[in-house]
Chains A and B, each alone.
Chain A
């Protein structure tokens, strides 16, 4: 697939969304709502479930299904309260010493007057800031779209995995083409130049694993064994490795 096809494919409505993964991986999932500050953001599904016999805090950016479902989930674009809910539950995971799984699938954090005035920038910054020293293992999987800061906010993890047909980008190819060449007709060129595919990002050392296929039992096995590896590390080793992981980017 061409890079831009991967982007278009990642946006398709018939793709599996976060709730599909949650249902398949965590049959006993309990959803928790609200950020305790403002409200409950439907674009983020968060809660608790067990992976095998391991309790895990799960946070997923949810795009929803069907027109109504998509509108209800705001097409998977979170407001600040979504990131604050995610962070609240990550802190809870830290307290009860259980690992965290983030499922990333968003075109980006929501752009709107309300989102700005409730501190979209601050909400994302706080996620990065607090996750950098969260004393429990975190794995993030980009299952579809990894749209800029809104996706990055849930990717400050010990491991970043990507589906082979997902993308992760600093800017959407259309916006990039529009800014640089004043036309969205060159979105395909932009997609190619941005290096946003799982393969390219793996080569650059920015992600840790490419997941092929969507075999849920295999994914479950991989997650369990990776959490075991991470849980075996001391807290300080875990945090030091997480710091190094991002510290070396670009240098």
Chain B
């Protein structure tokens, strides 16, 4: 067993480093073309063949948006417990930890972006589909409180299937907890920028994902409250192709701008500058 584990390939091939990684290839889920990992990484995890946006791990996402070596992680050791004794939850958690190589579904900390000091959180789709349990809610609420105390902006990268069922009402009420922390941050005149990525749905959509001063989205990201399958089942109709896609949600009036991946860091820099955010001396 142990030996077998030793030879297991890392779950997320995009993240493996070193010489071996350079020779590895992955198949684009959309166009089925086989592309070298190194090429994809250089291309901001956009398929060079068809332009499809691939999932980016939270840690990689932060690297892509912040200045080199500026990220300082906060609350990295908070871990979930099975408070309700929900059947199978421990197994789900350990699978998620193995798959994401993170302790929970969100990473929080401080960083600079173009020299501007900011707080940032990024959710991780590889951790139980970015679902929000007590730890995810706690880490984000703590980050907002940290930012409020220091008058720092917060940048949030969301990806989530919603509240984490296995924690019952405790997870649902994280929506209330984080929304209240966002309000306090805002009432002190601080800036909160949301970057919606594919997919941002359910309880996260119905709380802090929709509470930004500026709401940005990645092209094609699914953004909505109810899952498309639930709606199809309720209405017994096929949904339009662009339903809940960022471009359509922008037309409906809920997104400020759609920003392609290669331009996101520059875009954030500009936003921070226009809000008079304090620049660190380098």
- A residues at B contact (CB < 8 Å): 109, 111-113, 115-122, 124-126, 128-130, 132-133, 148-149, 152-153, 155-156, 168-171, 175-176, 179-180, 189, 193-196, 201, 204, 206, 242-243, 246-247, 249-251
- Given A113-B243, A201-B169, A118–B252 Cβ distance below 8 Å? yes
**Other CB < 8 Å A-B pairs besides A111-B225, A128-B180, A194-B168, 20 of them?**
A112-B231, A112-B234, A113-B235, A113-B239, A113-B240, A113-B243, A119-B210, A120-B226, A121-B205, A121-B206, A124-B206, A125-B175, A149-B172, A152-B175, A169-B168, A170-B171, A194-B86, A196-B169, A250-B137, A250-B173
Question: In the bound complex, how far is the Cα of B89 from the Cα of A193, in angstroms?
Answer: 11
Q: Which of B170, B179, B231 is close to A249, meaning CB atoms less than 8 Å apart?
A: B170
Chain B residues lying within 8 Å of A109, measured Cβ to Cβ, are: 206, 225-226
B206 in contact with A125 (CB, 8 Å): yes
Q: Which of B134, B203, B239 is close to A251, meaning CB atoms less than 8 Å apart?
A: B134
**Binding site secondary structure of chain A:** helix
A128 in contact with B207 (CB, 8 Å): yes
In the complex, residue of chain B having the shortest beta-carbon distance to the beta carbon of A243: B180
B177 CB within 8 Å of chain A: yes
B206 in contact with A251 (CB, 8 Å): no
A-B pair count, CB < 8 Å, reads: 175
A193 in contact with B210 (CB, 8 Å): no
B187 in contact with A111 (CB, 8 Å): no
Question: In the bound complex, how far is the Cα of B207 from the Cα of A15, in angstroms?
Answer: 31
B211 CB within 8 Å of chain A: yes
> What number of B residues sit within 8 Å (CB to CB) of A?
58
Question: In the bound complex, how far is the Cα of B209 from the Cα of A122, in angstroms?
Answer: 8
Q: Which of B173, B240, B253 is close to A119, meaning CB atoms less than 8 Å apart?
A: B253
B182 CB within 8 Å of chain A: yes
- B residues at A contact (CB < 8 Å): 83-88, 133-135, 137-138, 141, 163-165, 167-177, 179-184, 187, 202-203, 205-211, 223-226, 230-231, 234-235, 239-240, 243-244, 248, 252-254
- Given A119-B254, A120-B225, A249-B170, A133–B183 Cβ distance below 8 Å? yes
In the complex, residue of chain B having the shortest beta-carbon distance to the beta carbon of A167: B169
User: Which of B206, B235, B252, B253 has the most CB atoms of chain A within a 10 A radius of its CB?
Assistant: B206
B207 in contact with A204 (CB, 8 Å): no
B173 in contact with A206 (CB, 8 Å): yes
A129 in contact with B211 (CB, 8 Å): yes
